[in-house]
Amino acid sequence: MKVRLPQGMGGGPQNMNAMIRQAQKMQEEMEKLQEELEQKEYTVNAGGGAVTVVIGGDKVIKTIEISPDIVDPDDIETMQDIIVAAVNEAYKTVETTNSEAMSKVTGGMNVPGMF
């Protein structure tokens, strides 16, 4: 029994070589983009600007600034909640930005191990 490949799936060695070259080019573009994304920094605010988090594209927190206005020894929980919200939003910002940038390179194709 002979298997029929859909149009564009066969074509011999030339087609396979073209697919390999295309995959290598995509991998190179993804590696370059990943390096660029890791060099970026994002600033995220929470609590109306009470907490500011600066995070790198590599998901490393660079700084956390806390406004003295929210430092209340009788209400530490509110400050903790705002810091958690700021850090979570910072991570989400990096994830979304990196994911959107990578999908432009991969054409929306899900590539395991990347972001």
The rounded mean pLDDT for the chain is 85
DSSP 68: G
Q: What percent of the chain has pLDDT over 70?
A: 83
Judged against a pLDDT cut of 80, whether residue 2 lies above it is answered with no
Residue 82's SS3 state is: helix
Q: How many residues does the chain have?
A: 115
The answer to whether residue 114 is domain-embedded is no
CA-angle at 80, arms to 77 and 84, nearest 5°: 140
CATH of the domain at 43: 3.30.1310.10
The answer to whether residue 2 is domain-embedded is no
Counting the structural domains of the chain, the total is 1
Q: Which residue has the higher pLDDT, 109 or 88?
A: 88
Phi, psi for residue 12 in degrees, rounded to 5: 80, -165
Write out the residue range of the structural domain in which residue 20 sits: 12-106
Query: In whole angstroms, what is the distance from residue 68 CA to residue 57 CA?
Result: 28
The answer to whether residue 112 is domain-embedded is no
What pTM was computed for the model?
0.68
